[in-house]
Amino acid sequence: MIFLIFVKIKIDPMHHIELDIDRIRPFIGDEALKDLQKEIHYHHQILLSKTGRGNDFLGWIDLPQSIDEELIARIEADAQDLRSRSEVVIVIGIGGSYLGAKAVIDALKPAYPPAGSCELVYAGHQLSAAYLNSLMKHLQDKSFSIVVISKSGTTTEPAIAFRVLKRLLEERYGKADAATRIIAITDKARGALKKMADKEQYRTYEIPDDVGGRFSVLTPVGLLPVAIAGFSIRELIQGAKVMQEMCLSSAVYEENPAALYAAARNALYRMGKPLEVMVNYEPALIYISEWWKQLYGESEGKEKRGIFPASVSFTTDLHSMGQYLQDGLRVIFETVLSVRHSTETLLVPDDPADPDGLNFLAGKDLHFVNQMAETGTMLAHQDGGIPIIRLVLPEINPFYIGELLYFFEFGCGLSAYLLEVNPFDQPGVEAYKKNMFALLAKPGFEADTLALQKRLGLK
């Protein structure tokens, strides 16, 4: 086999996202990726044959190609119904039950949406009384509906939020009308939310049994909120389909950008770089980083190993975290989310007095200025000892965001298998829940309650 290592992925960069690993070349030897190509090929086959660890949760692999027209049309119709009847739609969920949708919506929406557009807000992703009270005050003079997302219906944060907001909805509209304003995305056959939805006759969508929460953005979990926000889920799915074809057809780096990403980050991890910082230069991409952090953190952080995912927003954070990144511990590598073309144009104006000395920028597009800040920062950080992976989106639109989502999902599966962990479970998440339930005296936790009270000096 021929290994062409330090090149960009050979796909048309004007029509696909592009991965550039040139800036990690000085930090790793040629043999590192050659060796990893052999491992990648093995784990690629394991993913496709669904014979590896966690194989009960690999439904996301085939998901883009398996979404049928009937489901898309139903989502579009329900989204239009809620949007036409609601000034605000509340998406209730935590973790993968809201992060994917918020990532896509925040990437595509204007920073300041026009007046009169349907507003999407989120609840059930924390336990703050101040937040929930503020949300209820915000809803006082607004029509609203609810999309509640939970496989079990008993996860504490969304269950509390749904209990509170459902009562507000029923007080506002009456029980029968309120039921038409609630859509539940949940298990197809069991769980508290499914039981409630059947009893109250809510519209429902299924969370597939073989798709875990953090991989669920291309199910109704993500698609319905995105459609309610008014964006094309067809284009989003099409982008994911294109990336699926690339990722499934080959394990060779030049043909599979997700394979190259998994190999590059693991090569850096093995040489003592356990912390990956996702960098964006567009505020619209902040929640893409948040979704990515859950996807990789929850998938890889196991058995006392894994790459720690962090994120910064430049140029803002260059005035805070920039110092540490330039001169701090050299245990970091960066993955830069770069946008080639902006959908907006803003020229820096000329000022004859030039009081700020910025007339040298007059007539230049602000996106170009931002790109020069990005290039200058990458050069400085590379000189400072940070390897940099660069991921280029031709522009921010539903198609390329769809590509990006599937790229990260497939790369995550490969990367976690390279780390020899199960990408699709989350055993560590249960530890805090056990303690929280014990401290709240939940029935069935009596022994744990006594043990923790003693430990805390409360007994």
Query: Which two three-digit tokens encode residue 358?
Result: 């910025």
What is the strand order of the sheet 182-186 is part of? Answer: 119-123, 88-92, 144-149, 182-186, 203-206
Query: Is 319 marked active-site?
Result: yes
Query: Is 188 marked active-site?
Result: no
**What one-character DSSP code corresponds to residue 151?**
S
Buried b / exposed e over 29-49, threshold 16 CB at 10 Å, is eeebbeebbebbeebbebbee
Rounded Cα distance, 186 and 193, in Å: 7
* Interstrand relation of 203-206 and 308-313 (parallel, antiparallel or unpaired): unpaired
Rounded Cα distance, 346 and 339, in Å: 16
The single residue of 70, 319, 344, 430 carrying the catalytic annotation is 319
The length of the chain, given as a count of residues? 459
The single residue of 142, 433, 434, 454 carrying the catalytic annotation is 433
The single residue of 157, 276, 282, 298 carrying the catalytic annotation is 298
**What one-character DSSP code corresponds to residue 389?**
E
Query: Is 15 marked active-site?
Result: no
On whether the CB atoms of residues 90 and 144 are closer than 8 A, the answer is yes
Rounded Cα distance, 70 and 76, in Å: 10
Annotated catalytic residues are 298, 319, 433
